[in-house]
Each structure stands twice: as structure tokens, then as C-alpha cells.
Amino acid sequence: MSYRAPVEDFSFLFDHVIDVAALRATDRFADASADVTQAILLEAGKMCDEVLAPLQRNGDLTPARLENGVVRTSPGYDEGYKAIADGGWIGMAASEEAGGMALPMTLTTAVNEMMSGACLSLQLAPLMSQGQIEALEHHASDQLKETYLPKLVSGEWTGTMNLTEPQAGSDVGALTTRAEPQSDGTYAVTGQKIYISWGDHDLAGNVCHLVLARIPGAPAGTKGISLFLVPKFIPDANGNPGKRNGVSVVSLEHKMGLHGSPTAVMQYDAATGWLVGPEQGGMAAMFTMMNNARLGVGTQGVGVAQAAYEHALDYALDRKQGRTGRDGTGTIVDHADVRRMLITMKADIFAARAIALSCAQAIDMATATDDPQWQARAALLTPIAKAFGTDTGIAVSEMGLQVHGGMGFIEETGAAQFSRDVRVTAIYEGTNGIQAMDLVARKMMDGGEAATRLLDEIQTDAEAARTTNPNMADAVWQAVETMREATEWLVAQDELNTRFAGAVPYLHAFARVLGGHYHLKAARADKGGTREVIARFYIQRLLPEHASLLAHAQAGEADLFALTPEELAV
């Protein structure tokens, strides 16, 4: 299955759309020069094209399997993981003290997207480790950092995140896993966790689990939850894997897609664990990892969208079917509806990619400056990046199937795998509905100030674009006005259910406006070029969707609850 890493697109975004220059102007990221950035993009792209992409079908056709308590990974995954680890791609954003490169999350996000597009099932392993690295850097004791971080950064060990239980999904506070204090300062962790990505495997020397559990006597709900580091093998005095811990794999989930990624049901039987952060501080520590993962998952959606687009484009350029009444290649790419699908795919990929990179840039600026406004910007963009990125992955993969016609329904073409693999991204790390609810509630606790500042910036850029791209600039400017009015209405609603009823359309409207903003910037930088053409398509045909979405967002909740549960069943 072919994949071509979009290195040129990232270079264009960094040079003309995402303010990477601001990052390089900080002391924290001064070393991330244009030359360094380009060299990293090229090297990572080469690895994705030549090493990871050939593994995409292997994972689907020969899934990970559980044999005698040991998870065996798909053919070739060992070499693919070795290439990721040896290249230093896991620890790109990690501190130099831990053996990382201390590079911007913006650049890490670009590399993660390329790995996701090449082989999403395998990319999940380093993504989980990256989240654990960040959580340990912020919350773990010096002793834990010294023991675990270098090995996680190097890829010698891998990390996981254990939240969900059979009775406790998004309602994490309902968990029953317990952690009994031991005389040596450790804890005996007992319980079962489900949906654990890369919960076990044969690629690395140890698997390190971050596990949410409750210490006896702790209050009910999320406030009583603590976080523990529970390794598969307990490190010995030299920091090497020692005796086997009380951790086992009950089973592997039989999934719709992502067959190469082992998703485990994990059992903890008085397993030795170490507290990460303070007692009852588990949610704060885990959210450090989850916020990292939410951006990463949004990026996964964009990566799969890129791969699905390339796959569909190759087919459209080759498949001869019907007549279009116009001169052309004689293939289905000459059909107007196929063109509509392909350019929609391309335009939405650009928008979703730009949103994800802008979110990463805000995270980097917050890290470099400690500016609360950058922190608020990163928080605001995270749910949008996650939800719109994954929804784009799903939509583009579905359009890719449609471009293939009947052949898209045949597994041998590989088109269906993109849809099956990416579908879960809208569910894990907080469903997209939860992301939208977070956006309209928690992220609006400032009265909409962060959102308003962002809208002000977009409107200022649209004003500046009126001299070069007047029609597109006017459309973006007016869309911002509509978005501003809807945001003012939203923050005036005291009843949260009123906000929640329209949360998903509000998030998508915001994403549409952001997409128009980034496309307009691209059009200004590529006057008369391909990107201006794509921007015009997006702004004329896709941006107007924001108006109907906002009408939906402001419709309230009454009609959603007008029918009783019994009436819904009729």
C-alpha cells in the first residue's frame, strides 16, 4: 500500500501559515531552525514511506495475537518499531535530561501525523509512550524519572494508559481498581482495565503502565483517584527488568480495525506500583497525558485522511469508467463528482492539519513563555483539533471508499482498512461529543475570552487579506462575525444542557471558521497557485456550512427531550 509523506505541505504550513518563527524566537526553541526542521521532516518522511507504510496491510491481515500469556505482534512490526526508536522519534519533545531532543511539539505533531498515515496501528505504541513521558516529567518523583524516562525516551521500554474498566468508561470516577499501601512505600494494585492500547507486546523489554486506582479510605468519584506506575517487570537495582510483576493479559479485543495494535484487557493482582504525583491527585496527573493524547489522536485522524486521499487519488487517476463529455485523461478523475470528492478531501485535510499544528504551536508557546493566554489558546484548540481531526479522518476515508466505487467494498483494494482503522479515533481519549461539551463548558469558563481573542486575530488577518483576496477575505470576515455572535449567545446560557445540546455543531462551526482562516493565509502566500485554488473551493463551498451548524448550536435542548424514552422506541 503506497504512502507519500506530505513533507512539502508541512514545510509550506511552517513557512506561511503556522507561526513557527515565534517559536524560534524563544530561548526554549531557538535551536529548531528552518534547516533543522526541514532535515527532520525529510528523514521522518523517508522512514514512513520506506519502512512503516509497507507494514500497513501486514497488521490488518495478520493481527497481533495472544499466545501462552505473551502478545505476538504482526510481521515486520519489530523492524518498524526499531526504526522509530533508533531514529529518536519517540523522545522528540522530551527533555534533554531524559535523553530527548527538546524539540517543539509542533514538529513532533508533524512527524506523528506522517507515522499515523503510514501505519496507524504501529504508531499507537510510540504515541502512548510520548504521553507517559510527559506525565512522568511533570508529576513523577526524581527516582521514578531517573529509572523510567531514559528507557521510555529511547524506546527500550514502552508506556500505556489505563483508565477504563468494564463499568467505568467516560465516568472514570466509577472505577473500582484499588491500591493498598505497602510498608516499603509501594502500593499493591488490584483490578481490571479494558481497552489498553499496546497493553502487552514483544517489541520492547518492558511495558510500563500508568494505572488509575483508589487508595482505601479515599473519597468516591474522581477526587479520590490516584495514579500509579506499574511495570510488567519490576526494575532491579541496576534499573533493568527484573522479576515479573502481578500484571497479566486476560485477552485481546476483537476489533473493527487497528488489528495490528494489540488492545488488551489487563489484570492487576496485587501488582507492585509506585505513586505518581500526590495521593488523590491522579486525575490532574493523568490529564497531562490525556491532553497530549487528544492532540495526538486528532493528528492520527489527519494522517489516515492523508493516506486515504492518496489511495483514492491513485485509483481515480488509473480507473477508466464512463465518459465525461470533456477531454481529459479518460479516467474517473475527469468526472465532476469524483473531482468534488477529491478536492473536498484535500481541502479538509489542509484545514484539519493546520488546526492540529496551531494547537501544538500554542502548547509550545505556553511552554516557552508561561503566558496564560497561550495556555488558554492551547486549551481551547485541543478539543477542536481532536474532534475535527478525527471526524475528518472518518469522512475522508468514507469518501475514499466512494471514489473506489464497488472496488472500495472489496478488502483486497485496502480502501476499507482506512475507514475501519480510523473509526475508533472519534471514540477514544474522550469521545468527540465529550470534546465538544468540554469546549462549550470548561473552555468557556473565562466568559469566552480565549475564543474572542482568537476570533479577533482571524478577523484582523481577514482585513489584511482584502487587498489581495477580497472575496475570500470578506467571506472569512463575515463568518467570524457569525461565530462571535454565537459565542456570545453560548456564554450567556446558564443552563449547561442548553450548551451541550448544540456542542457538536458549535465545535464543527468553529473548525470550519478556523479552516477558512488557514486557507486564506495559504491563498495569500500562494497567489495564483494550487493552494489558492483549494482555498477558494473551501471558502466558497465548505465554509458556508458554519451558518447552518450555528443555527443548530443555538436551537436549545427542548426538542431533544420532547419525546419520552418510550416514544423513542415507537
Active site residues: 429
Complete DSSP assignment for 226-278: EEEEEESEEE-TTSSEEEEPSEEEEEE---SS-TTS-EEEEEEEEEEEEEESS
At what angle are helices 105-118 and 34-47 packed, to 10 degrees? 20
Phi and psi angles of residue 261, each rounded to the nearest 5 degrees, phi first: -95, 115
Give the separation between CA 516 and CA 544, rounded to whole angstroms: 10
| Cβ atoms of 416 and 401 closer than 8 Å | yes
| Cβ atoms of 131 and 299 closer than 8 Å | no
CA 380 to each of CA 20, 359, 452, 521: distance values in angstroms, whole numbers, following the listed order: 19, 8, 11, 21
Return the C-alpha cell found at 565.
424514552
H or E stretch including 70?
strand 70-72
- Name residue 165's beta-bridge partners: 168
CA 382 to each of CA 40, 45, 186, 349, 417: distance values in angstroms, whole numbers, following the listed order: 24, 25, 34, 17, 27
Q: What is the DSSP letter of 150?
A: H
Where does 62-201 have alpha helices with state H?
77-86, 105-118, 120-139, 142-154
Q: Which is nearest to 262 in space by CA: 60, 65, 129?
A: 65
Instruction: Please name the amino acid found at residue 563.
Output: L
Give the separation between CA 150 and CA 506, rounded to whole angstroms: 42
Distance from the Cα of residue 508 to its chain's centroid? 16
Q: Which is nearest to 119 in space by CA: 448, 517, 414, 367?
A: 414
